[in-house]
Amino acid sequence: MKPGIKSHFIFWSSFIIAVIIIVTSWQLETNLGADVRIMEGTAHYVNLNLPFVYMRASRDNVVCLNGNPLSKKAIQILAPVHLEALSLGEVELELSLFGLIPLRLVTVNILPEVRLVPGGNSIGIRLNSRGVTVVGYYYFESEGQNRSPSREAGVRVGDVITAIDGEQITSINQAANLLGRTDREPGGPVLLTMVRDGHKKTISVTPLYSELDGGYRIGLYIRDSAAGVGTLSFYDPATGRYGALGHIIVDADTNKPVDLRDGNIVKAQIVDIKSAQRGKPGEKTGIFIDQGSFKGNIEQNTPYGIFGRLDSFLPSQEAIPMALVSQVEIGPAEMLTVIEGETIGHFQVEIERLAPQSRPSDKGFIIRVIDEELLAVTGGIVQGMSGSPIIQQGRIVGAVTHVFINDPTRGYGIFMEWMYQEAGNYRQIKDKENRRCKGWEDCNFRRREGIFPRMSKIQSMT
């Protein structure tokens, strides 16, 4: 071959291979995540049509490719691509061009089937925070001026006061008693220890005399607890754990997450519903029933819901399989929630859009309420429905988290897999099976705050 022709041949061959690598890598990046989870005995479909790509596994006989067990020997990928789970465990799949040029490494976790009892029950939620939360400034007249000594000293709304003059506090009553001690020097400085944005801080505040109150005040509104109505998402009969809400609980005044000390959930009875309208969210009104058929504690307040254990719970429904993110589809589904009393209703919804996710988020899909009965009563999604489970094709796939203010018939949902994972259940399965499973342990994902609708205001003036 002449030198000129040879150089052209090398150039165009290299160019074509480079194009193939770029296009193939883009398709793999788009259609196949770096982490894939498959339930044991099920298949995972991948939309790939790449005739030059080969696949091999780090371990034998863990997954099948189109019916053929994968091994350490590379085999060609032929469309359509189905990965089938053979046994529990973790395996790494290497995809390469022509079986020679590595393109992508994918970690596949084969998980045991999880069966959960769908919720839908209305629950009363009580949370107690660590310390007392500053929710506002109290202005009073002192020496002819409206003053708030705490604001002037640098205390901010949202600060969590954990100690006064070095003594730990957990409630409003403790704070009031410490500030009103008879042995305190009138007008003497008060040392407030607080947490602000995760950092400990100490501020000295000098109280002023309030002519209206007839005593010295530091000028703050504080709160030590929060309460509201939500919906139970799931109960795990294997562990006794539950998940609810699907998003974090934030303080109604500061819009910051409640720093949970402890809390509990009880049955709630819905006595009224304010229908939603465009631009005006609706809401459920409920009463707490402390001696109902179930009660539980609150151990976690996370961006993906609240979690804990139920001490007593008599499920009204059978446990059903939990869907992985990859198993959720656009199309008809069913939402479970209460609109009157304690009766769980089954209402038709449509999953309109899915967000491809390999890491947790409280906004994984969009649903639209199409059930005429529910629309007539509530106008769509209302406050208090957060956590209502979504059922599709006999699986529990997710829970309602947010409503679109300008279109209350639509809202966001969280994938149930993320709630189940956040509850720590995958970790318990791992410990039980005594297997190394990196994907199950990695829970330090990027977190986003949710919106907890209208927590009741329980506050005190100091």
| Residue positions annotated with a catalytic role | 247, 371, 386
Q: Are 53 and 77 a contacting pair, CB within 8 Å? A: yes
What tokens were used for 371? Answer: 């059930």
Full DSSP string of 329-346: -SEEEEEEEEEEBTEEEE
For 35, the 3-state DSSP assignment is: strand
d(CA 168, CA 357): 42
The pair of three-digit structure tokens given for residue 368, joined into one six-digit string: 């639209």
Q: What is the distance between the alpha carbons of residues 460 and 462, in angstroms, rounded to a whole number?
A: 7
Contact 420, 217 (CB under 8 A): no
In which residue are the tokens 């990965």 written?
A: 83
- DSSP classification of residue 223: E
Q: Supply the DSSP symbol for 30.
A: H
Element (H, E) at 147: strand 145-147
Strands 295-297 and 343-354, by their bridges, are unpaired
Distance of CA 254 to CAs 41, 42, 151, 201, 415, Å? 47, 46, 15, 18, 28
- Strand bridging mode 101-111 / 35-39: parallel
Residue 100 CA to residue 54 CA, distance in Å, equals 9
Task: Measure the CA–CA gap between 23 and 48, rounded to whole angstroms.
Answer: 12
State how far the alpha carbon of 27 is from the alpha carbons of 20, 46, 79, 381, in Å: 11, 11, 13, 37
How many CB atoms are closer than 10 A to CB 214? 7
